Structure 1
Amino acid sequence: MEFYSCDTMVALGNSTRSGNILFAKNSDRPVNEAQPLVQFEAADHAPGEEVKCTYITIPQVAHTYRVMGSKPYWLWGFEHGMNEHKVVIGNEAVWSREEEEKENGLLGMDLLRLGLERGKTAYEAMHVIIALLEQYGQGGSAAVGKAFHYHNTFLLADPTEAWILDTVNRRWVARRVKDVAGISNCYSTTTEWDEASPDLKEHAYEMGWYPRELPFDFAKAYSAMSAKHRAAHPRWMRLNKLLCQAKGDITRETLQKIQRDHFEGELIEPRFSPADGLHVSICMHSIDPDASKTAAAAVVELTPDKPLVWFNALSSPCASVYVPCYIEGELPHSLSKAGAKFSEDSLWWKFERLNYKIEEDYPRFIGTVRSVWDKLEKEMAEKADASRPAQELTNAMMQDWKVVEEQVDRLYAQLESDDQTCTQPQRIPYLKKARQEAGIE
């Protein structure tokens, strides 16, 4: 049983039309693992207080920052998120020649949230993660009821800089992003970096993973050359190709389009439907109920002189809509609610139910859905303004998500009433099983 995790991408500085840093993230998770958007307030903590993460408890710090993140429903940590100081982080699974630690430690998602709660800058948050990684390790299964272990790569950014942090158990290597960079489920650091564990090279030499006489290449030395790496590499190449093609003119809309990509125009473009799940594309669809798929996505433009707008999408971004969210306001309850099974009071589950319906006949249904979402997405983006008072931001999110929920319900009813012959019968067995497991009638 194999899973593949998230795509993360960043465009930096003069590579963007605005000159600001743009950060975007797709989070891929096991089928039917709900991933709502949640918030946690800033807080002061008493000496000796502890924090219970997914598997282990560690000492709490004196103060934690206000955070907002996309959280798999059963985990303590985030797949991606931001804090009140404009730090954003995303993580992904990577696999190494080094076997994962057997003892439970901090999951990559735990480390991500801890970095946001404790770091005022991307660099500070990175070193929060490094210190915790070195002390507690990274370990534990990252899937419900399954043995799913991996190492982690992080992409961290703030309005002034971005960093990529690759980890192998308690060792690490970090490089500052100088132009554009996209990461997927394979190590991307090669021969150049800015900081690293002191024994990073020596450990690889001693293990016989790399010859001393060659210029040291981290990815070559530490990567597990396995089926997971084979699946991740085409997506990583496609992601960086699209980023480089747009370099100098990258906008939020550019990244949203990339996040919805299924290798269109490439030799490995899906044969029957973009949603057939045969390839691990940037917008990832599952081939069977034991695989993974994109569960949520986000884009944010990091500006030094004004509050940030977090554009959030639920379920598969190709069939979803990016809605403005604001860390200074209060999120709607239905946006932050989701459990193991479908429920009518969960926006994430309503989007997932709609997505399953679309995938029954994606080539025929997607145009109907996108005509609604594209118009609404443009309207909401044009009026998005994070500089308003907190109560106005709360009201704006309540109104936007209310409109979105009405459209989700309407689109689902419209597609359910369609009685034309299905042109994608090969997808029906998977969809039937996945819906049954989710409690979707």
Structure 2
Amino acid sequence: MVRWAVCDTVVVVPEKGPVWFAKNSDREPSEAQFLECHDGSVAGAAPSGLPDAASNARLLLSRPAWMWGAEMGVNEYGLAIGNEAVFTRLPVPKAGYAGMDLQRVALTTCRTADDALEQLIELTERFTQGGAMGHLHRSFRYHSSFLIADATTAWVFETAGQYWAAKRVQGVATISNALTIEDDFDRVHAGAYALARDRRWVKRGGSFRFASAFSDPVRSVAAGASVRRACTRRSLAGVREPRAHDFVRALADHGGTEPTSGWRGEAPCAHASWLVTRTAQQTTSSIIARLEASGPTVWATGTSSPCLSVFKPAPFDSELLPPRPIADATFDAREIWWAHERLHRACLAEYHARRVTFAEDRERFQDECLQPSADPRQSWRDHRVRIDDWLERALEVKAKHTPLLTRLFWSKQSRAVSIPA
């Protein structure tokens, strides 16, 4: 069965001031994703065959619980990378490495965006992208694109198997589950044009356009990539001196639609639904990073649904954000990811009426967490306490309008991971 997982990543390289990086990771709704700080010790061995990823560099990684690779991350040197699934004409083998694995290697071993680009080029040409990439749907496979950024430089790096194209970013760049680099690449795989020509993906006498040649047009459209990219750009239009608040708003945007409406995801803040095109389209973690020469500043939700959550300061602190074992995870009320997911699912049953019961408190708390004086440990503790309070308030509103198929879908999802009703 065909499924679509989606993500949205944005980088802003202004004429002056810090570089900004932000991402929503969208995956299956019951796939826990933990924010972890690694300080040189690795929680679980790297997949066999990959280069040694041991390092003393501290890393913030947002990682699906069952995978070694990371959806997104920032290291202490101020290098940030986010990964996206892209759908191409080339097959994805049953064995290989996820783009998230290659990304974690680059975050562990590199200090700059230029270095990370070189590392990812080498890894892409050397190793096969393949293997299990979906949580419950392990047959789901894809190629990867990446946004790579540091305090001065950013790159879009897109792959189709071992073939790739790279484009330096100036201003705003967003990627959302489709190849975007056409003939405007700064660098490209030496054999990409020859392969596209031999397979008649390039018109005779026409210019070589990487995305047009290698994209799977049906799956790219079904993922809603161009619509979501446009939504993110609109959210940031006219912002000359970006602030964290701008990215909080952009990542929580529903694009003027209802959270679970439509046959595909069309906004950065994604919520799964029973439609086969949306069962794996849920924002399961979000991150914002300000990248400066003095060092990175990071905020993260550590939860799903940024529209209902709070971006909190995320320091390189392995006691606050400890590495977890690499294993499937089920409901654990002590984990903020699971506690929030219970709140999220309660709100989806009557989204607007239940959300409004704690909206003012959430917005006020969000403002506090973005202040330079915010204490990270206190922020994470306070958020966990507030989640229980917000859930209690939300459940005081009776759910009246939840469609039957939506109720059945979420009931099945919650039973599978033991989330209380």
Counterparts of 1:334 and 1:343, CA distance in 2? 16
What is the aligned partner in structure 1 of residue 150 from structure 2? Answer: 158
| 1:39-188 aligned within 5 A | 39-42=37-40, 52-54=45-47, 56-60=48-52, 63=55, 65-102=57-94, 104-146=95-137, 147-188=139-180
Which of 16, 20, 23 is equivalent to 2:21? 23
- Following superposition, the deviation at residue 428 of structure 1 comes to 2.1
Deviation at 1:97, TM superposition (A): 1.0
Alignment of 1:22-421 (within 5 A): 22-42=20-40, 52-54=45-47, 56-60=48-52, 63=55, 65-102=57-94, 104-146=95-137, 147-230=139-222, 231-243=224-236, 245-264=237-256, 269=257, 273-276=258-261, 278-280=263-265, 281-288=267-274, 290-327=279-316, 330-333=319-322, 339-384=328-373, 396-418=375-397, 420-421=398-399
* Cα separation, partners in 2 of 1:186 and 1:307, compared to 1, 3 Å: closer
Q: Is the 8 A contact 2:37 2:322 kept in 1?
A: no
Q: Which amino acid aligns with 1:4?
A: A
Check the 8 A contact 1:334/1:345 in 2, yes or no.
Answer: no
- Structure 1 contact 65–116 (Cα < 8 Å) conserved: no
Contact kept, 8 Å, 1:309 with 1:325, in 2: the verdict is yes
Contact kept, 8 Å, 1:11 with 1:181, in 2: the verdict is: yes
Report the secondary structure of 1:341's partner residue.
Answer: coil
Shift of 1:421: 4.8
AA in 2 matched with 1:5: V
CA distance 1:191–1:348, change in 2 (3 Å): same
Instruction: Give me the TM-score of the superposition, normalised by structure 2.
Output: 0.91
Residue-by-residue CA offset, 1:320-369 (whole Å, 9 max, x unaligned): 11011112563245999995211112110011111001101001112223
The CA deviation string for residues 174-219 of structure 1, in whole angstroms up to 9 with x for no partner, is 1110111111011111111111211111110111101241122111
Tell which has more relative contact order, 1 or 2 (C-alpha 8 A, sep 6+). 2
Tell me the SS of whatever aligns to 1:435.
helix
Give the match's secondary structure for 2:212.
Answer: helix
- For 1:398, give the aligned amino acid: R
One of 380, 401, 417 as aligned partner of 1:423? 401
Aligned-pair CA distance for 1:383: 3.6
Q: Secondary structure at the match of 1:376?
A: helix
Residues 213-241 of structure 1 show CA distances to partners (whole Å, capped at 9, x for unaligned) of 11221111111011443332221222233
Q: CA deviation at 1:6?
A: 1.1
CA RMSD after TM alignment? 2.4
Deviation, 1:30, is: 1.1
Q: Is the 8 A contact 1:185 1:236 kept in 2?
A: no
Give the superposition deviation at 1:384.
4.2
Give the Å deviation of 1:91.
Answer: 0.3
1:382 aligns to what SS in structure 2?
coil
Counterpart residue type for residue 372 of structure 1: D
Give the superposition deviation at 1:141.
Answer: 1.6
CA distance in 2 between partners of 1:287 and 1:209 (Å): 35
Quick check: which one's helix share is greater?
1
Instruction: Tell me: CA distance 1:429–1:328, structure 2 relative to 1, closer, same or farther (3 Å).
Output: closer
Matched pairs, number: 411
How many percent of aligned residue pairs carry the same amino acid? 30
Task: Tell me the SS of whatever aligns to 1:58.
Answer: coil
Provide the secondary structure at the position in 1 that maps to 2:307.
helix
2: distance between equivalents of 1:214 and 1:224? 19
Return 5+ residue gaps in structure 1 as ranges: 46-50, 386-395
Q: Which amino acid aligns with 1:287?
A: S
SS state of the match for residue 300, structure 1?
A: strand
Tell me the equivalent position of 2:7: 6
For the structure 1 residues 62 and 363, does the alpha-carbon distance in structure 2 shift closer, same or farther, using more than 3 Å as the test? closer
3-state DSSP class of the match of 2:158? strand
Amino acid at match of 1:423: H
Contact 2:40 2:54 survives alignment (8 Å): no
CA distance 1:277–1:57, change in 2 (3 Å): farther
Distance 1:87 1:332, change over 3 A: closer
SS of the aligned residue for 1:314 comes to coil
Q: Alignment partner of 2:65: what SS?
A: coil
One-letter code aligned to 1:70: S
Deviation at 1:64, TM superposition (A): 5.0
Q: Give the AA of the match of 2:299.
A: W
- Report deviation, 1:314: 1.2
Decide which moves more: 327-336 or 376-385.
327-336
Deviates more, 1:276-285 or 1:34-43: 276-285
Q: What is the distance in 2 between the residues matched to 1:347 and 1:96?
A: 36
Structure 1's consecutive aligned runs of 4 or more residues displaced over 6 angstroms after TM superposition are 334-338
